Amino acid sequence: MLSTPLRRITAVWLLLVLATLFSWESAHVGNDHRLSSSIVLVIAFIKVRFVGLEFMELRHAPLPLRLIFEIWLLAACAALLILYWLSPMA
Partner 1 sequence: MDAEQQGAVKRRAGHVPGEEGVWVLIMGDMLVFSIFFATYLIYRAQNVVLYTSSQLSMQRGFGLLNTVLLLTSSWFVALAVSEARAGGRERAMRLLLGAFACGIGFVVSKAFEWGGKIQAGITLNSNEFYIFYYMLTGIHLLHVLIGLIVLGYLIARSRRPDPGASYVLVMEGGGAFWHLVDLLWIVLFALLYLVR
* C-beta atoms surrounding 13 within 10 Å: 13
Q: How many CA atoms lie within 13 A of 53 on its CB side?
A: 14
Cα gap 52→59, rounded to integer Å: 8
Out of 31, 62, 67, 74, point to the residue binding partner 1 (CB under 8 A).
62
Binding site for partner 1 (CB under 8 A): 3, 5-6, 9-10, 12-13, 16-17, 20, 23-24, 27, 33, 36-37, 40-41, 43-45, 47-48, 51-52, 54-58, 60-63, 65, 68-69, 72, 75-76, 79-80, 83-84, 86-90
